[in-house]
Structure 1
Amino acid sequence: MSRLPQTRSDLSRPQKLEPDDVVALVSPASWSEESWLEESIATIESWGFRARVGRHATDRLGYLAGGDRERAADLNAAIQDPEVRAILCLRGGCGSLRLLADVDADALRADPKPIIGFSDITALHQVWHRAGVPSVHGAVAGTRRDTVRQLLVGERCEPVRSDRGQFGAELTTTGTAAGPLFGGNLDMLARGVGVVDNDLEGHVLLLETHREVGLGMVDRAVTQLLLSGTLAGVSGVAVGTLEGFEDYRDREWTVLDVLHERLGVLGVPVLGGLPLGHLESPVSVPLGVDCVLDADAGTLTVAQLTA
């Protein structure tokens, strides 16, 4: 097995969680059902932690979990609270991008703690990455929810293995790549261009997406990342789920054709079929920490989240 490279010198790892530590539950994007909040609280408490629900976590304003000011206030309250050791986003949806200018990045650097989420939460992962604080791409959901607990308490997780039966595994090439893992939802990464200065040189890029309009949206998003220079110098690409594209064609092309053509210009190893993203039971992985992508072995090995 390939060894992980040296840890980034600018990285501020959070401390591993101990029993009775507090996990804040917030809604920085869209609102979630009450039953999901209750289930999330039960899971966090079953792990021996204390769940602290944000003041506005159950607010509703259209498709948003309340107003921008209130959602930002909950997020910053969790960042600034020394008792809170991790922040769990109850769901994605839409709205995280609105909060980027309001996140207290100075407080986050002073007291590093991971944020947990995926999809729309990719907007916030970019703030954590720029602050040099690792975060968690994933969710406390499904049969693999315990991967979040393992990351928080500092346990070493098994390599994430490509599922050859998963749509997108066909994108896998050959070779190995190493470097910090960063990325997430393709559309949110593209939307961050010009808003967040992502320097991904030497990184392994994580991509996942779901179908909203068509193949053109995927093409535009990857092209924007390419033309902006965001992807210059990436060492490899880890591809998670491509939800909704399984049976979709546009003039004889599938999303696999688009990604093969667009990602191919990078000339780096690609590993597809990873169980990361929009799944009932996603695997959770740290972002911002070092990893080794082995396309030949079909594995993504990621370093520990905590110090």
Structure 2
Amino acid sequence: MNKIPPYLQPGDTVGILCTARYVNTEQLQPAINLFESWGLKVKLGATVGQEWHIFGGNDDLRAQNLSDFFNDPEIKAIVCARGGYGTVRMIDKIDFSGLERTPKWLVGFSDVTVLHSHINSMFEIPTLHASMPVVIDNKTPEAIDSLRKALFGEEISYSFKIDSPFTRKGSAEAVVVGGNLSLLYAIQNSVSEIDVYGKILFIEEVEEWLYNIDRMFWNLKRSGKLQHLAGLIIGGFTQLQDNEIPFGMSYEEIVWEKVKDYDYPVCFGFPAGHFADNRAIKLGEKAILRVGEHVSFMQRA
């Protein structure tokens, strides 16, 4: 049984910290202003403004900061400042006992996929795949409002017209899991690996080589990860790279080649990922997905 964290109320405190790359207070000011406009208080972590190589402090500091926020009764939601790389370096140093005792929303995407997967699979606590503070001022009003709705316990629902020939119609009502493809690939066969059986799998990616996308999807197929899904949602695959001699397949063709023989609904172009219209998704929570002439996605509070 999922342990759904309490939704936020005006006057609650959100904590912002670094689990991966470095960020300073000035970069966070737009997000601080946004959260305060929603009636929330903001507490900055010890990692904000700290710099160790490309990271927001060394691995021990980043792990300790997150552990402290899990144990802090004042903080009702934890927002990762940015992604990049670094969460997998310290995941095994984190004390999750505070989160187990008192579930709270953890927010982020990209490199934060490591935490989403670990928390969803190990503790059956939902998390929130959504925009992060360092890029919040570049997001669409719809993306920002979806974050607010998800945090405050309002229904989130999206509908968009299909703009891809590689789509399979159908419907599914199941738990959503997933995140960034490279990170899902990196944590396979570890304690943080997600269970995808009977789930709706969401995947997005950025700045990846087409041949590497192909390699990672072959791994998902050969390891059985794509066989027993309830549905597949492909979000943004942006700023992709190719060699001088072209790979010869688009990312859609790469994915479709691996899933065409199954029977669950598949959609491309979902509004979540490394772009302005990054809509919130509650990972580890049920959703209703319908793929027809349009795609609809809904998660109730």
TM-score (norm 2): 0.90
Q: Which amino acid aligns with 2:83?
A: G
Match of 1:299 among 293, 296, 299: 296
1:51-70 equivalent positions in 2, closer than 5 A: 51-70=42-61
Partner of 2:253: 257
Aligned-residue RMSD, C-alpha: 1.9
2:140 paired with 1:149: no
Partner of 1:193: 188
The answer to which of 128-137 and 25-34 deviates more is 25-34
Partner of 2:236: 241
Q: Distance in 1 between matches of 2:225 and 2:58?
A: 31
Match of 1:279 among 265, 275, 285: 275
Contact 1:117 1:137 (C-alpha < 8 Å) held by counterparts: yes
Partner of 1:79: 70
Gaps of 5+ in 2: none
Highest relative contact order (Cα 8 Å, sep 6+), 1 or 2? 1
1:175-254 equivalent positions in 2, closer than 5 A: 175-195=170-190, 196-212=192-208, 214-245=209-240, 250-254=246-250
Q: Which amino acid aligns with 2:144?
A: R
In structure 2, the CA distance between the partners of 1:98 and 1:232, relative to structure 1 (3 Å rule), is farther
Q: Distance in 2 between matches of 1:90 and 1:218?
A: 26
1:20-35 equivalent positions in 2, closer than 5 A: 20-32=11-23, 34-35=25-26
Q: Distance in 2 between matches of 1:247 and 1:171?
A: 21
Q: Which amino acid aligns with 1:189?
A: L
Match of 1:101 among 76, 89, 92: 92
Q: Distance in 1 between matches of 2:270 and 2:58?
A: 35
Partner of 1:135: 127
Give 1:247 shift.
8.9
Q: Distance in 1 between matches of 2:57 and 2:160?
A: 38
Q: Which amino acid aligns with 2:170?
A: G
Contact 1:27 1:58 (C-alpha < 8 Å) held by counterparts: no
Q: Distance in 1 between matches of 2:80 and 2:242?
A: 30
Give 1:300 shift.
1.4
**For 1:112, what is the secondary structure of its paired residue?**
coil
Q: Which amino acid aligns with 1:135?
A: T
TM-score (norm 1): 0.88
Number of residue pairs matched by the alignment: 290
Q: Which amino acid aligns with 2:168?
A: T
